[in-house]
Structures are given as C-alpha cells and as structure tokens.
Amino acid sequence: GESVGLHLPTLSVQEGDNSIINCAYSNSASDYFIWYKQESGKGPQFIIDIRSNMDKRQGQRVTVLLNKTVKHLSLQIAATQPGDSAVYFCAENSGDYKLSFGAGTTVTVRA
C-alpha cells in the first residue's frame, strides 16, 4: 500500500494568503523527505527537503515542518502567488534509492 499520503486532494487559496499543505507518512524508518511542485504538462520540480534529524527547514517563501511523533509533514507557502498554482507532492525516502510519493494536492490560487 501507499506509505505516503496527503490529507486533502485540493486546496483553494486567496492570493496573498499563506498556504499549508499536509502529508502523512507511515514508515517510521524513513529519514529523508522531499516536497515537489508539478505544473501542468511538466515534470515534478524540487522545492525543499528535510532530513529526520530536523524539525523545520526554510527556503524562499516555503517552510517544511516535520513531526516525527505523529509522522506528519507539512509545506507552508507564504504570500501565495498565482504562479504557485500546481500539484504538490510529498515524497519519502524508503531506502535503496527509492522514493515513495503521495497522491498529490492540487493548489488553486484565487485572484
């Protein structure tokens, strides 16, 4: 079965607001997590990653939070822009060079 999943398949956000995308994972042995963004007609694009020895990591307008106690991962996007409209995937490193992906959350930014 799928070891990584997202809580909601869709998210509608007002332009300028902050977005929070959630992801749950089931493999407690996973030690590396990645968020990808996929725009229509393109391949997934790396956004940010985090290793299990960290709780939080920040990038440009994005923050990833990792809660190992409840096996939960979230991606926060600050001041959401129209260009942020895409499908967002979390991925989990299950070892041996393999990544397991969730089903994705479609983010739509309202003007």
- Say whether 83 sits in a helix, a strand or coil: helix
Which residues ranging from 40 to 59 are in contact with another protein (CB under 8 A)?
41-46, 49
80 touches another protein by CB under 8 A: no
Token look-up 């007609």 returns: 41
60 versus 69: smaller Cβ distance to another protein: 60
Report the C-alpha gap between 64 and 37 in whole angstroms.
Answer: 13
84 touches another protein by CB under 8 A: no
Contacts 24+ apart (CB under 8 A), 57-65: 62/35, 64/33, 64/35
Among 16, 58, 81, 103, binds another protein (CB under 8 A): 103
Contacts with another protein, residue ranges (CB under 8 A): 2, 4, 9, 32, 34, 36, 41-46, 49, 89, 93, 96-104
